[in-house]
Structure 1
Amino acid sequence: MKADDLFHVGIVTDDLDATRAQLSALLHYEWGPEIGAPIEVTLADGPATVEITCAYSTTTPRLEVIRSVPGTFWETVGGSGLHHVGYWSDDVGADAAELERLGYVTEATRSAPDGSPFFVFMRSDTGFRMELVTRAAEPSLRQCWADRS
């Protein structure tokens, strides 16, 4: 893992449209399409299907605004809404093991169709949360913030 692999900062909000509008008005952010679907994940208490809806900014530094999912760690509970920093990973399993060695705990994982780790969310004992995403997903995720003009 290295600083150059940072590709977004995640924000969880109860109102996706209002948050995007505020960031656009205040900081001139522009947005890719809203995307979402139920996804299969493994949370701390076991497997779950979670409806994730989000949008990535086309403006950099890249933001991901995610609609709050009550009852999960994607829920807004006090605080700023800043949720995580997302990094590309060439080996999600190895990078997650390194974070675990440093005291991070796993909050959610998702496997790719071949069974390899697709993403993992991990939190430090100070509350700092990281999302590691397989670099193999980069070409398809880039479509979420491609210039559509």
Structure 2
Amino acid sequence: MTSFYHVCFVVPDLERAMRDFENASGVEWGEPQTSTLGDWQYRIVFTRGGAPFIELIEGPPGSPWDASAGARFDHLGYWTTDLQAGSRRLESHGIPEDFSGCPHGRAFAYHRMDSIGARIELVETSRQPAFLETWHPTGPPMPTIDEAP
């Protein structure tokens, strides 16, 4: 069972990236949302049509989504039923935690996978209903990552 549900790019210009993706591949986008995590205000959008989603994030300098050096592939996103166990499993395989949203009240963590030059994001399944309501309101629930070592 797969739990992969999105690929993310951080971008300095959300509208431009949306337009370019739309022109290149015909994807349709949800409405961009503005949110805050800690001291950072950022903008986020996902494609419509179900997994795998494409996510774009426009974040300020110094944030986990800083694109001041240019747009980049940032992470692959996976659902997990147990964020702590999933993070321990990744760390035991040499994929260290890079950033945690938990101190900011968000159940997700980024882990640095240097072999691909990007991160793996684990997102607690408790966030899935709100995600689906916002980005895929008519879609079915999505599977979660297997936590076995």
Query: Normalising by the residue count of structure 2, what TM-score does the alignment of the two structures yield?
Result: 0.80
Q: Percent identity?
A: 26
Cα deviation for residue 137 of structure 1 reads 0.7
Corresponding residue of 1:98: 89
Take 2:134 and 2:47, find their aligned partners in 1: how far apart are those partners?
8
Corresponding residue of 1:45: none
The runs of at least 4 consecutive aligned structure 1 residues that moved more than 3 Å come to 77-80
- Per-residue CA deviation, residues 38-90 of structure 1 (Å, 9 max, x unaligned), is 113xxxxxxxx221210010035310000032123412265761110000000
Q: Classify 1:62/1:5 alpha carbon distance in 2 versus 1 (closer, same or farther; 3 Å).
A: same
Is 1:68 matched with 2:59?
A: yes
Corresponding residue of 2:146: none
Take 2:88 and 2:66, find their aligned partners in 1: how far apart are those partners?
26
Take 2:108 and 2:33, find their aligned partners in 1: how far apart are those partners?
17
Is 1:9 matched with 2:7?
A: yes
Cα deviation for residue 107 of structure 1 reads 1.6
5+ residue gaps, structure 1: 41-48
What aligned pairs does 1:1-149 form with structure 2 within 5 A after superposition? 4-40=2-38, 49-60=39-50, 61-76=52-67, 81-111=72-102, 118-126=107-115, 127-146=117-136
Which region of structure 1 is more displaced relative to structure 2, 122-131 or 6-15?
122-131
Q: Check conservation: 1:55, 1:144, Cα contact below 8 A.
A: no
- Per-residue CA deviation, residues 7-44 of structure 1 (Å, 9 max, x unaligned), is 1000110010000011111101101111122113xxxx
RMSD: 2.4
Query: Normalising by the residue count of structure 1, what TM-score does the alignment of the two structures yield?
Result: 0.80
